[in-house]
Structure 1
Amino acid sequence: MGNSGSAPSPDPAIGQAALASAELGRDYLGWAEDQAKITNKWAADDRARYTSTFVPLENDYIANAQAGPDYGKVAGDVTRSEATVANRAALAAGQQERQLQAQGVMPGSGRSIDGTRKTALATELATAGAGNAQRVASRTQAEAKNDSEMANAINLGKGLAVNPATSMGLSNGSTASGFSGAMQGYGQQGNLLNTQYQQQMSSYQANQANQSSLFGGLGSLAGMAFSLSSKDAKENKRPVRGVLDVVKKMPVEKWKYKDGMADGGEHIGPYAEDFQRETGLGDGKRINIMDAVGVTMGAVKELSDKMDRVEKRLPTRSVRSTKKAMA
């Protein structure tokens, strides 16, 4: 017999906080997914533009670099260099001839012919030297340009599709952050609800312990029940019959509360289900102390009345023997 009690109602703010945390996580995930759609669009646009516009240019550039140095301009550069030297030599020869004439040297003289021959030889040597120098310089320039183009082609390959990759990284990062926020929200919800459950269990167990302490003995129970047993506190009074038969139909056994239930100790008493069935009182889970005491006292009274009637039917000697035996 005992009152198992019930856990107090939890603070609704705990559930509200847990729900708000989960909803915030879902909202964050939705926002992150929207951001991912934007950055994925950027990645798709960048990739399409890169493929349609820059890939053909890069292919041409790489092909030209792989073809090797372009020596097509070397011959023209050599010709122009040689022409420049020849022009300068012709100017120098004309000036020399005018100087000789000014000195009275005739054009057909040996001195004039020898000077012309020397000038022509020097001009050929200078022209040849200038052409060779220009040829070397032009080829070196073409080869340097080709080396630079090859380096650029290699760098193009290293930087291939950088923008799309960056956009995809932003997208994946945003989505991952959103999922992390959602999981944290649900995790926080679980922690809050678990805290709420632990608080309920602690309150429930404390309530059970208090009830076991308060209602541990029959004397204490009766004392508490009788504190409100004045006639002035009661109405709708009427006699009760047959409680002795009620008590006889209810099994009274020794039993122990299950672990975690009430005080967990051993007791002697009836069961709430039987008490409700025979008396119509209680909820089948608990036995009200006032009702239990009332049924017990009513049964004792009926039993006493029954003994009085038996005594009246017995001879005096037998009654004395029965009382002596009962004493």
Structure 2
Amino acid sequence: MESILEQLKPVIGLFGQSPYMKAAVILLLSLLAAKLVGLFVNRGIRKLTQHTKTSLDDQLITLLHRPLFWTVVLLGMLLAAAVAELSPTLLTATRAAIISLLLFWWMLFGLRASRVILSSFSRHGDATSLVRPQTLPLFTNLVAIIIIALGVYFIFQAWDVDMTAWLASAGIAGIAIGFAAKDTLANLFSGVFILADSPYKIGDYVVIDNTVRGMVTHIGIRSTRLLTRDDVEVTIPNSVMGNSKVINESGGPHEKYRIRIRVSVAYGSDIDQVCALMQAIGEEEPQVCSDPVPRVRFRSFGDSGLVVDLMAWVEKPELRGKVSHELNCTIYKRFMAEGIEIPYMKQDLYIKSLPDTPWQEHNG
């Protein structure tokens, strides 16, 4: 600050020795310098950013114009206050007010710039990126809280306000809130980890601990919602989701889902005919994927028949019930037409002898 004043003394001295006149000259010079900086940003830097492929730099330059302008003006006001020969108390208050305005402008720029940057990252990110449309509100609010907290801290520092007591009170309050809302905080942190780790996404079919199965319709900070096949919406806290075994039926290299049709045929059946017939049924079903092709496997010798599996793939997990129904109906009809017996459990009761009754004893 002192070196800048020394360099400006020859120019300021041309307008007299009045401190108020010197302050007014410095203010005018700062306004002129702010205009020049604005022209440089608009016509110089903006031309360079127009040749880039992304629009992020153009948005940041637009946001940067006003903070730079007011930074130059406020620095000029600081210089003007230094040469205006104000009283020490008034000079201290003026400096604190100007620094507070300066911090406010850059805090506002940080909030807007972080929102633009995070939005750009979320648009261009993939499924494994940390910042995605689902996690964008979380990171936007988190960065905003950090910027505002830092801005408020430095503004208090500019006014020589001791923040030790405030920070201690905030720490005690944080501990109390943590104990009082531990379940809510557990859901919050689990939601953050779920959004960051992405074990599932909206539209996936998941099974939770082999008990609840449904399509993910919403992933929030507190809970995850599933829509079951009965059209019943189930809301599960994220802390439960984070500690449960989640089977993502839509995950893997593709969304296709394999169904298994298990059939038992009577001993003595032509196993080659059975396998060929089930293979043909799987390939003829229009809702069964042709890639991978359906497969038939002779699994085991059962108690009452030969166990054969037809394994086929469907495009989406929600089709498994409908396609299984179609395949079961077709297999039953074709087996009946071909005379292939589907065994079922039968019990034969043999009576070796009847006990003596009072009537038999009387007639005997």
| TM tier relative to shorter chain | under 0.3
TM-score normalised by the chain length of structure 2: 0.21
TM-score normalised by the chain length of structure 1: 0.23
- 1 or 2 for the larger relative contact order (CA 8 Å, sep ≥6)? 1
Structure showing greater Rg: 1
Give the structure with the higher percent helix: 1
Give the structure with the higher percent strand: 2
